[in-house]
Amino acid sequence: MVYPSNHRQIVEELMNGKFILSNEEHFNSLKENEQFYTEFFKVSFDLQLNLKTEYAFLLSKDSQENFSRDVSIFIAILSYELDKDGRNFMEVLDFHEFTLEEVDGYFDNSSFIDLIESNKALRDPDSRRTLINGMHRRNIVSKNFDDRFSFTQAHKVFVDFAKELAMKKMRPENAEVN
């Protein structure tokens, strides 16, 4: 049997919980063989492939995933603080390169300080660096230097989550139907 090109890299990265981004070479191979990979992951591992125009990742049924929650809280607070600072937070998340000091400034002066201090992944600068490194490993952020990072297209998973949550809250009857 002939496997698609970059098959091993695609499987390894997705199985490690990594996002594959549209600007990466093996994304095209994945996209061209979407049907194959959807079946492959479903039959082999009972996992769902989520392939969007800008990124791809595998979905897990395991709801005990703390990483996703920590990242959600991180982006939520950062977005809130950026908006409070008078900045267009969507634009900043899309294009801005953050320094770790800048992030620390937002978190240390946040009114969500109780929530931040009670979360192991966010409570201090070192914990936040570990979380950012974890996001880097999964391709949610890219790091050009040790103290700088920017969000990749993968952060839109979380942005979409916030959007859907708002829609559900605004129309509770929709949430029940879903």
Cα 165 to Cα 18, 75, 158, 171: the distances in Å are 24, 14, 10, 10
Strands 48-51 and 98-99: unpaired
When asked if residue 84 is in the footprint of other proteins (CB under 8 A), the reply is: yes
Inter-residue contact 62 to 17 (CB < 8 Å): no
When asked if residue 56 is in the footprint of other proteins (CB under 8 A), the reply is: no
Positive/negative CA dihedral, 104, 65, 133, 97: negative
Binding mask 20-39 toward other proteins (x if CB under 8 A, else -) reads --------------------
Residue type, 126: D
Residues 105-134 that bind other proteins (CB under 8 A): 109, 111-113, 115
The Cα 66–Cα 76 span in angstroms is 15
Q: 162-165 long-range contacts, Cβ below 8 Å, gap at least 24?
A: 162/76, 162/79
Inter-residue contact 168 to 161 (CB < 8 Å): no
- Taking the complex as a whole, how short is the minimal distance between the CB of residue 7 and other proteins, in angstroms? 17
- Taking the complex as a whole, how short is the minimal distance between the CB of residue 76 and other proteins, in angstroms? 4
- Taking the complex as a whole, how short is the minimal distance between the CB of residue 21 and other proteins, in angstroms? 15
Q: Among 26-34, 98-106, 125-133, 167-175, which window interacts with other proteins (CB under 8 A)?
A: 167-175
Q: Of the candidates 5, 9, 38, 47, which one interacts with other proteins according to CB under 8 A?
A: 47
DSSP label of 132: H
When asked if residue 175 is in the footprint of other proteins (CB under 8 A), the reply is: no
Residue type, 168: K
- Taking the complex as a whole, how short is the minimal distance between the CB of residue 2 and other proteins, in angstroms? 26
Q: Of the candidates 9, 67, 104, 133, which one interacts with other proteins according to CB under 8 A?
A: 67
When asked if residue 167 is in the footprint of other proteins (CB under 8 A), the reply is: yes
By CB under 8 A, name the binding residues for other proteins: 14-17, 47, 57-65, 67-69, 71-73, 75-77, 79-80, 83-84, 86, 89-90, 109, 111-113, 115, 138, 157-159, 161-167, 169-170
